Amino acid sequence: MLAYTTTQIQELHAEFLHEKGIKLFIKREDQNHPHVSGNKWWKLKYNLDEAKKLGHSKLLTFGGAFSNHIYSTAAAANELGIESIGMIRGEEIFPLNHTLTFAKEMGMRLHFVTREAYRKKTEQDFIDELQTKFGDFYLIPEGGFNQFAVNGCAEFGEQLKTEFAFDYLCLPVGTGATMAGIIAGVGNSKRVVGFSALKSGDFLVKDVKANLKEYADTDFSNWEIMTDFHFGGYAKTTAQLLDFKKSFETKYHIPLDHVYTAKMMAGIFDLLARGYFERGSTILVVHTGGLQGNTSVI
């Protein structure tokens, strides 16, 4: 079993929150594991259990050169004493960046594939070729995005609902697996607001709906994805975002990453200023970790 540290819920104190009659808290899930942090822990939990149940001693997964998922999967495999293979999109560039250097130090075998080949990552013929090349392995999709990930995040959502009383739950969105799980976990009694880290992230609504339908045949009407706070797109940033990140960290002493959580918090503050959240409500924000991403600002 992957190690897990229970995390705190920290309140943010600010005059503008008091004036609006709103309480704002952050679930510091960035502190749940030194390397498999935030939602990555929950997305991998049942994937790792399934790999063990099926008798696999080798994991294979996909990701870009700066992937939090590659970083976390390598660390998880190392902790559990199993092999890991990372199929990395694009050419190998030396020196390796921080993410890939760490993955390699954790024992992950890195294999670089062209972007054209990478697009075949879900095709059975391509997966069969990988089985022939690398031997038997347990496949974890890019970003850990499958129903095992949704199951883990649903468990996390259920835990949050029993642990703390809130009206809104906010989180960043990449693939939509974490959000789908949390929506199902907290149920229709809470409002879930996601913040897309991707430019043109409207397609995420369809992906989340598909995952919810597969997870539970229930109509969830308690959620929304904000797509205006991507600051240029995935792993991109702007001077405005970096200024916000620095100001936030100085005032509240909570580290953010520029890929996901800084964009989410900037979005939350913008919505607060525009009166999106009802007066008298309590907002719980999930810190999804990924702070290692700060080693590279694109």
What digits encode the pLDDT tens for the residues 173-183?
A: 999 999 999 99
- Predicted confidence (pLDDT) per residue in 90-137, tens digit: 999 999 999 999 999 999 999 999 999 999 999 999 999 999 999 999
Closest CA to 249 of 294, 281, 192: 294
Position 170, amino acid: C
% of the chain with per-residue pLDDT over 70: 99
Domain boundaries, the chain: 9-35+147-295, 39-144
Question: Is 84 strand, coil or helix?
Answer: strand
**Position 278 pLDDT exceeds 70:** yes
Same topology between domain 9-35+147-295 and domain 39-144: yes
Question: Could you give the CA distance from residue 72 to residue 44 in angstroms, rounded to a whole number?
Answer: 9
Choosing among 3.40.190.10, 3.90.1300.10, 3.40.50.1100, 3.40.50.300, the CATH entry for 9-35+147-295 is 3.40.50.1100
Task: Give yes or no for a contact between 174 and 143, defined as CB atoms under 8 angstroms apart.
Answer: yes
Question: Could you give the CA distance from residue 234 to residue 199 in angstroms, rounded to a whole number?
Answer: 7
**Pair type for strands 191-196 and 109-113:** unpaired
This prediction's pTM = 0.95
Using 50, 70 and 90 to split pLDDT, how confident is the model at 298? Answer: very low
Supply the DSSP string of 53-68, one letter for each residue. Answer: HTT--EEEEEE-TT-H
Give the pLDDT score at 295: 79
Domain 39-144 has CATH 3.40.50.10330: no
Using 50, 70 and 90 to split pLDDT, how confident is the model at 293? Answer: confident
pLDDT mean over 51-61: 98
Question: Could you give the CA distance from residue 248 to residue 161 in angstroms, rounded to a whole number?
Answer: 26
Burial zone of 96 (CB within 10 Å; 0-12 exposed, 13-18 middle, 19+ buried):
middle
